[in-house]
Amino acid sequence: MVVCVCNAIRECQVREAARSGATTVCQAYRSVGCQAKCGQCIPFARSIIAEERAAA
């Protein structure tokens, strides 16, 4: 599933970034060489990161 349409960032990429230590959306996006643009994706990306952190 696509999380960020502006940057074509997929859910699996956000999850992998969270598993690798990203604790914020900015950190997760930087890990794939992007940054949030319009901001519509931020709540969804935050929830993915929170899920991964809770599972760790």
Domains, the chain, with CATH or none: 2-55 (1.10.10)
Q: How far apart are CA 28 and CA 42, in angstroms?
A: 11
Looking at residue 34, what is its pLDDT?
Answer: 95
Report the predicted TM-score, pTM, of the whole model to 2 decimal places.
0.92
* Chain segment 1-56, per-residue pLDDT in tens: 999 999 999 999 999 999 999 999 999 999 999 999 999 999 999 999 999 999 97
What gap in Å lies between CA 55 and CA 38, rounded to an integer? 29
